[in-house]
Chains A and B, each alone.
Chain A
Amino acid sequence: MKHLFANQKKHQKRRAKSQLKNKLKKLKKKKYTPKRATKSLSKKNKDLKKFYKPREYTHSFIQEFVSGQIGLEHNVQDFVDFSSKIIDSNCTRVYLDFRNATRIWPSSVTMLVSLIEWVNLTSSNSVRIGSSDSNTADVNAYLGHCGFYEYVKRDFTPQTGFYPPNEVVKIKQEPSVKNTRIRQQAILNLIKLHSTLSSDDIERVDCKILSEIFVNVTEHGVTANVSGWFVLAQYHKTNGIISICIADNGIGIKNSLMTGFQADNVAKIVKSQNDADYIETALTQYISGALDSSEISPKLLGLQHAVPQGKKRGKGLKYVVDTCKQLKLKLNICSHYGVIALDENGSTHYKHTLNKRCFAGTLYHIIIPARKVQDV
């Protein structure tokens, strides 16, 4: 009997030793050595190249009619229905019939500009996008005034009397991250001139909303493959709002999280494949697709300190949401297949993941209250 027990003890010790060895092996594997970090980074770059790999657009022609108003500012569902038809149309000729359009809001202009860039990035054959003029002079004047015609290099005669120049930050594709401060300042000046927010609240918009959104766009939306991002801001006096659009042609919030170093943990939290769920999680939890959001060799990124996996980063969008709620601002986020719209109280009044893209990249859209001037 004694002999049996002695053998059992020996066997238990051996088992415990091998279990400890296996645990240590797993821990060693988890550690991000420079070699492993380089491997992870190069995998991320491979994912990016795959995402933007040019493909042949195979269908021939699509014509979409716009009647009435189109934009997130007016109706989220209408915007999403329209944009999802044209962004992933896969057509070599896209024709937008604006004859019966009575207003093309800034969010729609931003969507059209990002579509043009998306087509340039992803099509291996020639794609033409055209549109008719609207029967409403206002609409044509606006497309000239906001910079859209300039962007698509269309000849036009600027029409005076419709939109004063100090009521817009024109849409432009920024080819690099150099002008973030200039664009942020331009939006801030527009807000200072026309919004009804107090000076402290304007500072909150600048520091807590605009700063964080620009940081997101430049860090996650602008990559080696995609250098462009866009800004359009417009004061609408009859509606009493300032519509601010900041967008990129990046891989989107979901892909950014799932190609980042927190992917395993994100998958556990989200538990679905829906883009809208990933956007919602990014707005409410501390998760990040940032390169320094995990333990990684400091030498690789020029950082002084590595931090344990999954910690420190991921507060940015939550800051934006909390501040919008505090200041009673509407916030809409479109990121590839997902859309989330938050009302002034911070409640989600629209959340949907579509089968087709509603925005080729990520769009952050904020509505700020402004002085209302009635038409006489």
Chain B
Amino acid sequence: MSREIDIGSEFSDYLVNRNKLQGDGSFTAIEFREKFLQELENEHWWNSNNTITLNFKNVVTLGPSWANEVFAFYTDKYAKDLIKKKIIFKDLSVVKREIIDQEIDSGYVRKL
């Protein structure tokens, strides 16, 4: 089972702020995860055949901090290949694809 989210229309076309402390504090990555990716908190979802499609056609700006907090967040628990298999990215520009891939590949936490 897969559901599709048109991020630009259903959330925001300006995806830059990681949390309330950044920018104008609106449309943050944490807010997006809580609103639209709740099922991904459940391990059963990752073990099932379900996927989620995120459509970026109406997104104008995607910042690395936002992408890190939304997507790289899951690299703590799940393998990068699994994340890329379960979260399907649609209508991504070359640059936005670069940003998402870089954030998932570099991960959420790293040792100092």
Interface residues of A (CB under 8 A from B): 177-181, 184, 200, 203-204, 206-208, 211-212, 214-215, 218-219, 262, 265, 286-287, 290-292, 301-304, 307-308, 310-312, 315-316, 319
B8: chain A residues within 8 A (beta carbon): none
Interface presence of B50 (CB below 8 A): no
Interface string of B18-35 (1 = CB under 8 A from A): 111111110000100010
A315: chain B residues within 8 A (beta carbon): 64-65, 68, 106
A262: chain B residues within 8 A (beta carbon): 112
Q: How far is the CB of A319 from chain B (nearest CB, A)?
A: 5
- Tell me how many residues of B have a C-beta within 8 Å of chain A: 31
Are the CB atoms of A207 and B23 closer together than 8 Å?
A: no
A307: chain B residues within 8 A (beta carbon): 108-109
B14: chain A residues within 8 A (beta carbon): 181
| Chain B, residue nearest A262 (CB) | B112
Are the CB atoms of A215 and B63 closer together than 8 Å?
A: yes
Bound-state CA distance A226–B106 (Å) is 34
| Chain A, residue nearest B94 (CB) | A200
Are the CB atoms of B109 and A208 closer together than 8 Å?
A: no
Interface presence of B40 (CB below 8 A): no
Interface residue SS majority, chain B: loop
A211: chain B residues within 8 A (beta carbon): 16, 61, 63-65
A208: chain B residues within 8 A (beta carbon): 63-64, 95, 99
B23: chain A residues within 8 A (beta carbon): 177, 180-181, 214-215, 218-219
Given A204-B95, A316-B65, A319-B64, A310 contacting B25 (CB threshold 8 A): no
Bound-state CA distance A262–B112 (Å) is 10
Q: How far is the CB of B48 from chain A (nearest CB, A)?
A: 23
Residue A308 contacts which of B20, B63, B109 (CB distance < 8 angstroms)? B109
Q: How far is the CB of A345 from chain B (nearest CB, A)?
A: 21
Are the CB atoms of B30 and A303 closer together than 8 Å?
A: yes
Interface presence of B80 (CB below 8 A): no
Residue B21 contacts which of A180, A301, A308 (CB distance < 8 angstroms)? A301
Are the CB atoms of B110 and A311 closer together than 8 Å?
A: yes
Interface string of B68-93 (1 = CB under 8 A from A): 10000000000000000000000001
Given A214-B16, A286-B110, A308-B109, A206 contacting B61 (CB threshold 8 A): yes
Given A208-B64, A316-B64, A303 contacting B112 (CB threshold 8 A): no
Q: How far is the CB of B104 from chain A (nearest CB, A)?
A: 13
Interface presence of B3 (CB below 8 A): no
